[in-house]
Each structure stands twice: as structure tokens, then as C-alpha cells.
Structure 1
């Protein structure tokens, strides 16, 4: 069977990754540059729209203890980078831009904004709103190739024993397509796997639980909880938001026109904050569409937001994601208790392999941020361990939660299972970085990333003792 050489994999990883994203938003100025292509580096401000990068060099993974061999792998992956869900933000801004152009109210930089937005909207329409972009396909392809390189012995065993590979998704187009891209890349890396890949199936209760029956209580809370609404409104209504909105809009429109927006003259377009958020939203989705940009060099929408303003709107987006999907309030688990169905499935698959009742060699799941973020909180993954006290709003200063590291595009959680005799060990990768299980779970040795399955059952309360 053809395998991709490890040297090629590592070289590709180094080329694609450059430097790893920080878990906390750094402080940058206008002159900070990205080490890969010398573009402005304020990627922390993209929040959960951040494009995927693997979290660890494959050469640095710990080896399995002596005598243990891989017997199973499973994951859950967010879909890859995608086009925006609709054209609403672009349409709103073009309405304002066309009016400002007619009245001579554009700045010199703002004259470029309308054509830039129209070109981006055309590219997204061509891809299909909400669909995987070229970058998204690259992200999933790369993740699959690295899985094949990480577990060549397991893939050989799967082929030898004729074990199945199960592909399951939420049923939403971008999740389905992510599964297709992933499995195509996996079978290209090892063609002998192709007849073992089962037909892709849909399980909304498992991978779209925020919209299924299991999420009914959550949806009611999201719609009706006054504490949630007032907390988010309090964050958005800060003077810093108005100041950032004015900074953003005055890069595009002359001050008098910005004041008219703020005064609500253009009611169909909302106010200044609404318009500035629309600029931020286009800025946020632009990296996902890089492959579709002219010459593949990007859309350069970062020209329209100073780093401090992009960071502020990124913070507001993080706050919304944190409260609505993540650790949220310290006295409630409503945002993440419904993710137990997915964690339970992880354990069921491992236990089936251990007990000899499972016939799978791999279980591959494809879903959305609405599932990944609560699962990270439920599992106590890095960055998702600290809820907010009811009277102390979430801030970057006192909470490690960042959308860019918790749930970027194509984010993934993977469990690799190893066996020696009757003993089964699990290693977890979070965005392809070896990651410890939550506090209270004991690895087989200090500093090890390998955990006995029985210990994980105890730690997560799946056994009586």
C-alpha cells in the first residue's frame, strides 16, 4: 500500500503551520506581521472563524508504551472553512456604500470597499453560501492525511481484518462534504481502505443535538433567559463598542455619513454598531475564502479594521459563543449537558472494541461549532474549564476561553486506542495536539498522555466505583 512518507508530512506541516496560534489573544499593534506571508497578524480576532492549523509537530508525539499497538481510532470534527451562511452582511454594507458613493461620502480607502465586497460575495455565491471553501477542503484533506501517517499500523490492521470505517455527520451540507473530503483523502493515502468505508450516514441526535429533541431545554433557555440576554447586552453596549464601530466605519465613510448611520437615518441598515459588525463579519469570513480570491492571495479586508477594533469585535463574538455554547455561567450546565450524548458515544465505541462487540476500525464524525464547543466544556478541555461568575462578566483578562483555539474551523477531537493483552489505553488529540484528559483523570504515568480505559470510565463517572 502507498503511504505518504513521514518526511513529506513533517515538511508540509512546517510549511502550512509556521507558528502555532496562542491560547490567549496577544497584544499587537498596526505593524505586527504574520510570519508566513507578511500579512497583518491579528488572527486571534477571527474567533471561531479562525482557519485550522494542526496544534503539534507529529515528530513530537509520545510513543505508545512498549507492547501496545493501535486497534481503533475515533474523532469528531467540525466542518472545514466555508463561505458565509448568506449575503446579508454584504448586502447591508453595499446599500450604505452605494448611497455614500452617490453623495460623495466615501473615504479614499472606502472607494475600494464596495468592489472588494462585491467580489467576495460573488466568490461565495459561486461556492454556495454555507458550503465548504477551497481552504475548508484543504483543512479536512490535511487532517486525514496526517491521521493516515499517525496510525499506519492501525490502517494495516483494519485492512487485514476487514474492519469497517463508519462515517457519520449532522446531515448538513458542509458537514457531509467534510466527511466526503476526509474519507477521500484517507483512501487516497491508503487505497486498500476504500472498500471498507461504509456509506455515509446522518445522525442528528448525535451531531446536531442543539437542534434535535435533546436540545429542547437548551433552545428554550437560549430564547427566554433574561440573565443571558442582559449579560450579552451589557457587553455589547459598552462605550468601547461604539468607539470601535466609529473607527471601523470612518475608514470607509466620511464622519458626517457615519453620524447619519449612528443616528439611524438608514433604518433598513441598522445603526453604526450593526454596520460595523457587518464589516467585521466579512473580515472574519475572508480567510476561509482565500483559495477563491484573485491569484489566491486573499481579500485584504483587514485594511478596513485596525487590529484593536478587530480584536474588540472578536472579543464580543467570543463572549457570545462563551455564554451561549461554552462554559457560560458557573451555576448552570444548560449549554453543555446535552453534549453528553456525544461523549457517551465516544465511550461506547471504545468499550465495544474492548469487549469484542464492535466491528469498527474507525468511527469518524463530522459536525459543527454548536456541538464542538459544548463538548469541549463538558470534557474540560484546555480553555474550556472556567465558567463566569454570575456577577463577573467574561473577559480576556480573567478567562482563558478563546474561540480561535477552542473551536476554529475544522477543529477536531480524536481518541486513539491501543491494546496490550487485556489492557486498553487511550490517547487524546485536540486539534492534533496531545492533550491531557480533565483534572482528576490519572494517566498511566506522570507526564504521559496515555490513559487506561478503566481509569477514564472512573473519571467520567461511567462506573459505579
Structure 2
């Protein structure tokens, strides 16, 4: 999350309670990680619907967020270690807090060793497993790709972790089926397609993000409320003695962090730790759960979700600025499927690798599950009034896949979201009630392409 220094007085936008399920540890636990949640496939492959009789798979395409990674920088570690060192010198650490500094130093060293922002061992495993499941889901397609000399195109945003994700994914496919090696050409980069939030196509969005007063005031109001300060005090109280926590609250260390910023840094380390599980000393994970109670992790997870919801997701109901730029990516999905149908393409698969900043707005544009409801004027996003959850919308290694099936001149499309079969948006009609297969012509109509 960005560092948000609270400056507003409390007003109508403020929230006054924990998220609705903050005390439900089973559900809140995953949600508490937000978009740093590690990947979990959404469905057992054995339960997928079978295509109608006579249809065979002829094409597949995806867009995937990069896998689990280290933190993008060492800012969180710097913040908490500066406070921890001062507290240690002053004799103001709790018994638990005495372990905190060494744990942070070890985690930061592990992240620095692989490179900040780079794929972790777990991230590589996530991508390999997804690739293997893809090949197992469509074995006849990949056999045909190899036999017919079709190509598999791999394209990324150009950012290191996205490039590496494509490499790991491709290697896993060829390991699963060595005959595919000749199908892969040189991976390419397309920033306009897969880094659109920072490309020319996102210019209006970039301006809005930097200068929109409603966005800024809403996020400040969400952050600066009594519940946030209470949660911050509890988080810091696990590490520091009460007198030192009060010194943080009173602003003595304002040049380092205020109470919410400091607690957010602790939360961020908690949230990234599972992504770095294989780099832990015993390879089994980091015990950062002991530094933040479930209810407080859920609260800071909510604050992170609120930021992502407003900045990247459905956002305000009277604006599409956060997701209209994702149209370039949706257009490419249709372009590739249509090329297969029209006989103008030579690809058997199109594999794209990108970031949460692209997955989240694409999900909102397509009205994927959990991403179809924006915040109406005067109503602030909360877990109680909106289903949007970062952990479900765009976890690490999250993905959207279309499988295309052919029978004669008819083409059907099935969509998977995090490997779970899902329906297309309301107004798109499947081939029959309850089916997850849609005629490509119907999807073109439904999305206004015909």
C-alpha cells in the first residue's frame, strides 16, 4: 500500500467498524493478504464441464499476473527497523518484539538475495503448476500444436518478474510435452498491451491518479478513522511497550513514521511473507502471524483492498477511468480467438504475463465475479456492502483463460478465472442454461463487437 498520512477530520465517508468477517478467521485469513495472497486454483480440474459432443479444442489464450515475488523495495523493513533499533536502545521491546527485528532482518536479506520485486521460489512453483494443469486440461490441443507446426506466442509487460513468469511457464509446458519446443519463438514485450496503466494509452488514468481530489479525499478518509488508529496501536503494542507506542502516536518519530504508517509496514511484511516461504531458513515459511492478530491483519487488508478498489478496480460508479484502458487487452482476447475462427492466425496458444494493475481493471471491465459493483456516490466501499476482495480478484499468479473449441464452422469459448469455470457477464447467453460454453458469435454480440 502507499503511505497515506492522515490529515482529514472524520466525516461522512468514515467507516466505524471492522470488516463484516474480520472475526471469521477462516475467511478473513486469505482476504487479509489482499493482492499479495498466494495463488490457489479455484476448481478441481476433474469437475470441469466437458465440451459438447463433436467439439475439439483448437486454441487457448490467457493473461496471468506474475507469480509470488519479493517486496518491490525495502521501505517497510527500513521503517520498522528504525523504530525497533530505537526501542531496543531504550529498553522498550516486548518479549515478542525482541524477536521481531531479527525476523525482519532475515526476511529482508532473503528478499534482497533474490532481488526486490523478483519471483520467489514459490512464485516459480505457482507458474509451473498452472502450466502443467493447462497442458493436462487440453492434451489434444497441445499434441495438435506440435504435430501441425502451430506457434505458441509468449508476450509480457517487459518487467522482470513478468518476463521471468513467461519463461518459467513456457519451460514447464515444454517439460510436460517436449514436442512443443519448436512451437515457441522468441518471447516478446508489449507494454501498450500488458503495462497499459503506465503506457500512452493510460495517460488520462495517470493524470487522474495523481490529481483527482475525490480519490485522494476518499482514501484519506478511509485510512484516517478511529478503527485504523486502534488497530495500529494493537499491532505496535505486540512489538513495543506502551510508552514507546505512545511516543509513536505523539509524533516523536514523525520523520520515520506515524502510527498507521508504522503498523502498515508491519502488515506489509506479514502480507509478503507467504510469497517468500521457500526462502525461509527451514523452507517452511516465516512466522510473521505472531506479530499481527487476525482481526488487525483483516483491517489492514481491508485498507489495502480499499486502495486497490478505488485506484484500479470498479471504483466510483459514475466513472470508468480505472478500467476503460483495459479495453486494449480485452480486444486482444477477441482478436486472437477471431483469428483462429477466421483462419488468419497461425497460433495454437497466446500466453500473456502482466501485473495486478492490468488484471484488476480487466476484471472490472469484463464484470468478472466480485468486480461488477462500483461505489455509489455517498457510499464508501466496505466489505459489508461490496464483494470486491483483492485476494480473489488478483492474487499473485491470478489468471484469466479462454479455451476455444471447434465443430465444423462453429466455435465455442469457455472462460476460466483462476482456473475456475465462470460465466461471462450478464447479457451473454451460453449455448444452454447452466453451460459454461458460449458461441463466439454470441460473445461478439454481447460485448458489442458485431
TM range (shorter): over 0.9
In the TM superposition, 1:60-209 aligns within 5 A as: 60-209=47-196
- 2:256 is equivalent to residue 256 of structure 1: no
Q: Which residue of 2 aligns with 1:405?
A: 392
- SS for the counterpart of 2:155 is strand
- Equivalent in 227, 234, 237 of residue 224 of structure 2: 237
Q: Which residue of 2 aligns with 1:38?
A: none
* 1:25 CA displacement: 7.5
* Alpha-carbon distance between aligned partners in 2 of 1:53 and 1:92, rounded to the nearest angstrom: 31
* 1:198 CA displacement: 1.3
Conserved 8 A contact 2:401-2:416? yes
Conserved 8 A contact 1:25-1:402? no
- 2:412 is equivalent to residue 425 of structure 1: yes
* Alpha-carbon distance between aligned partners in 1 of 2:167 and 2:261, rounded to the nearest angstrom: 37
Higher relative contact order (CA 8 A, sep 6+): 2
* Alpha-carbon distance between aligned partners in 2 of 1:304 and 1:324, rounded to the nearest angstrom: 28
Q: Which residue of 2 aligns with 1:322?
A: 309
Conserved 8 A contact 2:43-2:420? yes
Q: Which residue of 1 aligns with 2:374?
A: 387
* Alpha-carbon distance between aligned partners in 2 of 1:275 and 1:421, rounded to the nearest angstrom: 62
- 2:208 is equivalent to residue 221 of structure 1: yes
- SS for the counterpart of 2:370 is coil
* 1:26 CA displacement: 4.0
User: What does the per-residue CA deviation read over 1:382-439, in whole Å, with 9 as the maximum and x for residues that have no partner?
Assistant: 0000000021000100100000000000000000000000000000000000010000
Conserved 8 A contact 1:70-1:418? yes
Q: Which residue of 2 aligns with 1:43?
A: 30
In the TM superposition, 1:24-35 aligns within 5 A as: 26-28=21-23
Q: Which residue of 2 aligns with 1:286?
A: 273
Q: Which residue of 2 aligns with 1:359?
A: 346
- 2:317 is equivalent to residue 335 of structure 1: no
Conserved 8 A contact 1:28-1:42? no
* Alpha-carbon distance between aligned partners in 2 of 1:28 and 1:297, rounded to the nearest angstrom: 26
- Equivalent in 7, 20, 42 of residue 55 of structure 1: 42
Q: Which residue of 2 aligns with 1:378?
A: 365
- SS for the counterpart of 1:338 is helix
- SS for the counterpart of 2:282 is helix
TM-score by length of 1: 0.92
* 1:268 CA displacement: 2.4
* Alpha-carbon distance between aligned partners in 1 of 2:250 and 2:160, rounded to the nearest angstrom: 40
Provide runs of 4+ in structure 1 moved above 6 Å: none
* 1:267 CA displacement: 2.5
* 1:273 CA displacement: 0.6
* Alpha-carbon distance between aligned partners in 2 of 1:276 and 1:157, rounded to the nearest angstrom: 54
Unaligned runs of 5+ in 2: 1-18
* 1:33 CA displacement: 7.2
* Alpha-carbon distance between aligned partners in 2 of 1:313 and 1:153, rounded to the nearest angstrom: 46
- Equivalent in 260, 268, 274 of residue 273 of structure 1: 260
Unaligned runs of 5+ in 1: 1-23, 35-40
* Alpha-carbon distance between aligned partners in 2 of 1:316 and 1:220, rounded to the nearest angstrom: 23
* 1:270 CA displacement: 1.6
* Alpha-carbon distance between aligned partners in 2 of 1:455 and 1:87, rounded to the nearest angstrom: 49
* 1:340 CA displacement: 0.1
- SS for the counterpart of 1:362 is strand
* 1:295 CA displacement: 1.2
- Equivalent in 323, 327, 331 of residue 344 of structure 1: 331
User: What does the per-residue CA deviation read over 1:18-43, in whole Å, with 9 as the maximum and x for residues that have no partner?
Assistant: xxxxxx974446xx579xxxxxx812
User: What does the per-residue CA deviation read over 1:32-60, in whole Å, with 9 as the maximum and x for residues that have no partner?
Assistant: 579xxxxxx81220000000010000000
Q: Which residue of 2 aligns with 1:12?
A: none
* Alpha-carbon distance between aligned partners in 2 of 1:361 and 1:398, rounded to the nearest angstrom: 42
